[in-house]
């Protein structure tokens, strides 16, 4: 069976102050369904750039990115804008360092919104189930600013999973939480993903989290 994700010879550079900076150079790796790939590297090594490429928010200068989802192959770079948005919305879940919840929506509405965008029935009920699973029974109707960081990240995880994507892309998901809270939230994320057989691409600075994956990609190790 084909891998969930196949990255082959991907390069990306940026123009900065008239100079071309090579950020990713001839990068190749693959990810199987339900597995966890951790991505590490110093600041500026291209971790977020890589996630943007995987999500089709940016295009590689060279190489290919091939997802195998719902029985077909997807290369975000070959899709038009509308198809790329639909691909992202349907197949990927995102968790960010700074939670990125909509401040004017309650926890439950934040989660339901993603289900609604995917045209799913019972968005509010799906959101409730997701939040219950993450222990937020009492905080469903709270607005983000009244939630702790750990609670906000649990809501963000519920939102990333409510439309049942095959893979979650997480950029420093515990980077803004204290050690204890970060560990607890991360353990819950891993537990839900394992239960549901969803894959994870995890960008992290945390050496402990980096060791736990099925595969590990260290960016920017060249001189
Ligand atoms: N759109 C862009 N235009 C110009 N330069 C960019 C662009 N996007 C990223 N870069 C540069 O590419 C390099 C890698 O950036 P990236 O955000 O991927 O790093 P990172 O590994 O995620 O770092 P951090 O750990 O600080 O989040 C940086 O030097 C950044 O300035
Ligand atoms: Mg980054």
Domain range list for the chain: 36-45+82-218
Q: Mean pLDDT over all residues of the chain?
A: 94
43 Cα–ligand 2 center, Å: 7
Indicate whether 223 pLDDT > 50.
no
| 0.85 surpassed by pTM | yes
Find the mean pLDDT for residues 157-182: 95
Establish whether residue 14 lines the binding site of ligand 1, counting it when its CB lies within 6 angstroms of any ligand atom.
yes
User: Given this model, what pLDDT does residue 222 score?
Assistant: 54
- Strand positions, DSSP E, the chain: 5-16, 19-31, 36-40, 62-69, 72-74, 92-95, 167-171, 199-203, 215-218
The pLDDT > 70 percentage for the chain reads: 98
- Cα distances from 133 to residues 86, 111, 187, in angstroms, run 27, 13, 13
**CA-atom Rg of the chain in angstroms:** 17
Ligand 1 in reach of 44 Cβ (< 6 A) = yes
Report CA(1)–ligand 1 centroid distance (Å): 34
* Residue 93 scores a pLDDT above 80: yes
Mutate to test the pocket of ligand 1, among 40, 41, 47 (most ligand atoms within 8 A of CB): 47
Compute, in angstroms, the gap from residue 124 CA to the centroid of ligand 1. Answer: 36
Instruction: Inform me whether the pLDDT recorded for 187 exceeds 70.
Output: yes
In this prediction, residue 1 carries a pLDDT of 64
Task: Tell me, using a 6 A CB cutoff, whether residue 165 lines ligand 1.
Answer: no
- The domain defined by 36-45+82-218 folds into Rossmann fold (3.40.50)
């Amino acid at each position: 069976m084909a891998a969930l994700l196949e990255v082959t010879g991907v390069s990306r550079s940026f123009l900065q102050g008239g100079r071309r900076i090579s950020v990713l150079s001839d990068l190749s790796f693959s990810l199987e369904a339900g597995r966890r790939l951790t991505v590490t590297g110093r600041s500026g090594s291209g971790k977020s750039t890589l996630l943007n490429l995987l999500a089709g928010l940016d295009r590689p200068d060279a190489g290919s990115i091939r997802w195998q989802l719902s029985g077909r192959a997807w290369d975000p770079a070959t899709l038009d804008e509308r198809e790329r948005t639909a691909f992202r919305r349907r197949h990927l879940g995102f968790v960010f360092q700074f939670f990125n919840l909509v401040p004017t929506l309650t926890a439950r509405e934040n989660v339901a919104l993603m289900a609604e965008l995917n045209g799913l029935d019972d968005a509010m009920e799906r959101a409730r189930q997701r939040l219950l699973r993450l222990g937020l029974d009492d905080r469903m109707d709270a607005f983000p600013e009244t939630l702790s960081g750990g609670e906000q990240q649990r809501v963000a995880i519920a939102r990333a999973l409510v439309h049942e994507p095959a893979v979650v892309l997480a950029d420093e998901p515990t980077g803004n939480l204290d050690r204890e809270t970060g560990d607890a939230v991360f353990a819950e994320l891993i537990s839900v993903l394992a239960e549901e057989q969803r894959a994870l691409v995890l960008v992290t600075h945390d050496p402990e989290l980096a060791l736990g994956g099925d595969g590990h990609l260290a960016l920017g190790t060249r001189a």
